[in-house]
A = this chain, B = another copy of it.
């Protein structure tokens, strides 16, 4: 059976291991810090490939950014990776086939082939962390758009009256309401609007300084203000998800990312299906978690 070396190039660390076409991990998952220059990244990747060279057929790389249609380079800007990163031709790293794909695309592929979306036809994956990212597989194919930029779902506007500025400089992006950063924004707005703030455990705190953690912690402590902020945040998340459901008609939505642990998945699924105009969808938590990029990259390279 063919084997792939799956490598996930993150902003802080590079994660890698050998896997087969079912997504089984065949070697210890190793980690190394992401170097600070493009040259050093190339040299680290070459030594990782060398380490496993005799045991693999192909190499799959998961990376932030939009990847070209040949799956050899990352074209868009990648703020968490060094200058020059966008000039690397990854196909030259080895004489074996090297395949690079966007991390969100790798993640949805991993869930579709070996995670919680196995067996479904149209899978929408939404990653809710500091921002919001997405990926879609339908009929056995990644949806990449004309230049590999598709599924920038975090930029979807959920208000049309320029109500809240996003960190990206635009207004009313879904991720400025429904990501981890979004929860912080909901807290800030809520502190000024909700009477519950006056009796909250955070009533003496400057609303500007309320954190995502403050709210999730306050929810556990049953703080009425935090509960209301959290409910608003969940509504914002729902608004984007029901829109994406009507657009993609998925039979499975996979939720991942640092914020997904706080979401009541069963309730969310019910709410989406009661509002959406398309056939019902299953909502699931991701299974491949931190290994999603690495597994998806390896599996895509084996395609």
Which residues of A are in contact with B by a Cβ distance under 8 Å?
Answer: 66, 120-122, 134, 138-139, 141, 143-153, 155-161, 168, 170, 177, 235-236, 239, 242-244, 246-251, 275-279, 281
Contact = CB atoms under 8 A, between A and B. Distances in A.
A169 to B, nearest CB: 10
A246 B146 contact: no
Contacts of A275: 170
A147 B279 CA distance: 7
A246 B153 contact: yes
B246 A279 contact: no
A158 B160 contact: yes
A108 B147 CA distance: 19
18 contacts: A134-B247, A138-B144, A138-B145, A143-B143, A146-B250, A146-B279, A149-B277, A150-B247, A151-B247, A152-B246, A152-B249, A152-B277, A155-B246, A156-B246, A157-B158, A158-B160, A160-B235, A247-B247
Nearest to A148: B249
Contacts of A145: 122, 138, 248-250, 278
Q: Is the interface of A mostly helix, strand, loop or mixed?
A: loop
A275 to B, nearest CB: 6
A236 to B, nearest CB: 6
Nearest to A281: B146
A248 B148 CA distance: 9
Contact of A150 (B148, B160, B278): B278
Given A138-B145, A152-B277, A152-B278, A157 B248 contact: no
A207 to B, nearest CB: 20
